[in-house]
Amino acid sequence: MQPSCIPFVHLHTSVENSMKFRHLLDGIYRFLNLRPVYHGLFWMVLFGVMLFDGLQNGSNLWFMLGNELIGLFFYAVLVYFNLYYLIPNYLARHVLTYMGMVILCCALVTPIEVFALYLKLMHLPVYRKNLIDEQFDFFLSNFFVTLLSTVMRLVMDWWRYQNEKQVLLTQTIQSELRFLKSQINPHFLFNTLNNLYALTLKKSDQAPEIVLKLSEIMRYMLYECNERRVLLTKEIQYIHNYLDLERLRQPKEADIRFVTTGEMSDQMVAPLLFVPFLENSFKHGLNHHIQGGGFVRLYLHVRGEDLEFVIENSKATEAVPRQQHPRSGGIGLTNVRQRLNLLYPDNHTLEVSDEPNRFAVTLRLKMV
């Protein structure tokens, strides 16, 4: 018995390491997303590039350090004026107007920057002459850095939007899961408890088993399926328990079967993925047979990461009269499609076959 636990221990360790790595990446992302951090990194990199370029000419380190600090100051003036005034007020409205304002600001700041360097280099006439000759180069540098800050702002805004979109997606998926749990038909639980009560009155040997299965179902729904993904084997066990309890209240001649094929090991799927199809097949199919009989058949085939799930149920020729008040519970196919689009975008297909005496759903997805 002990060796059979080794794969589970390895899987648990792998999942734990994966979660630690994800937490580490989340921490790094949150740190880099702090405004002082990414602004500081931007200026450190820019200053390093400026200093390296200046030292290539063989100039003295301290001499170049002072010059580049002056240049960095005027870069900062242009960059922050661009970030907090030009971009919010002009870029979204009219790109050409924005570009004109950037050129104008660079044209105004460049002579001031050159004059500041001119005063610093008062004792070096050769350098002062070069400043006058290279004013256009200073303008181009200012223009380039200002536009670079615009690109960085757009990239950060896009990055932040993607992160917020992912957070919203996660929240939406969690909301869909909570909605799914709340919508699972309470009649199923009530009927199970009624059948359990009848079995206890008869002192049936089935009663303890029913209690155990119902307990497993409730524990799985309330505690184990709060993650984004769960083991496929647990989802399959949930279906088995659900069907066993349904068999208690369905006529003996009802054909209820669940066939699984393929190799199932550590594949992960979204929790309660198959429950809407399962519940609807009973509520809108088997439960409407007045004469008894009918069928609900499930087929699940796994091949690597590819999964195919087929569920079909009979449709009664004479249905049970529908209640006039709204039914509690129930998940429409529209909500199921929305959840699949959130969880498995571009990685699933859902086919519905509605025939006179049969209703079938085929779900194919890649468990990624």
Domain containing residue 223: CATH number: 3.30.565.10
CA dihedral 144, 148, 151, 157 (to 10 degrees): -150
Q: Kindly state whether residues 121 and 192 are assigned to the same domain.
A: no
Domain range for 220 is 184-317+329-366
Confirm whether 244 is domain-assigned.
Answer: yes
Q: Kindly state whether residues 72 and 146 are assigned to the same domain.
A: yes
Listed in order, strand segments (DSSP E) in the chain are 230-231, 255-262, 268-269, 295-303, 306-314, 348-354, 358-366
Report the percent of the chain where pLDDT is more than 90. Answer: 16
Confirm whether 127 is domain-assigned.
Answer: yes
Domain count along the chain: 2
Residue 276 CA to residue 351 CA, distance in Å, equals 15
Q: Kindly state whether residues 337 and 237 are assigned to the same domain.
A: yes
Confirm whether 196 is domain-assigned.
Answer: yes
- pLDDT tens for residues 3-44? 444 444 444 455 456 556 666 776 776 776 677 877 788 788
pLDDT at 106: 93
Q: Kindly state whether residues 60 and 103 are assigned to the same domain.
A: yes
Confirm whether 62 is domain-assigned.
Answer: yes
Higher-confidence position of 316 and 78 = 78
What pLDDT band is residue 332 in, cutting at 50, 70 and 90? low
Q: Kindly state whether residues 276 and 159 are assigned to the same domain.
A: no
Question: Where a domain ends, among 166, 200, 225?
Answer: 166
Query: Using a CB cutoff of 8 Å and minimum separation of 24, what contacts does 23-31 make?
Result: 29/163
First CA to last CA across the chain, in angstroms? 31
Confirm whether 4 is domain-assigned.
Answer: no
Confirm whether 273 is domain-assigned.
Answer: yes
**Residues 295, 296, 301: CA angle, nearest 5 degrees:** 135
Residue 340's CB is within 10 A of a number of other CB atoms, namely 18
Q: Kindly state whether residues 59 and 156 are assigned to the same domain.
A: yes
Q: Kindly state whether residues 122 and 216 are assigned to the same domain.
A: no
| 352, 333 Cβ separation under 8 angstroms | yes
Q: Kindly state whether residues 339 and 225 are assigned to the same domain.
A: yes
Rounded to a whole number of angstroms, the CA Rg of the chain reads: 34
Residue 298 CA to residue 258 CA, distance in Å, equals 5
What pLDDT band is residue 291 in, cutting at 50, 70 and 90? low
- pLDDT tens for residues 105-152? 999 998 888 888 888 877 777 667 777 778 888 899 889 989 988 998
| 242, 282 Cβ separation under 8 angstroms | no
Q: Kindly state whether residues 203 and 121 are assigned to the same domain.
A: no
Q: Kindly state whether residues 62 and 205 are assigned to the same domain.
A: no
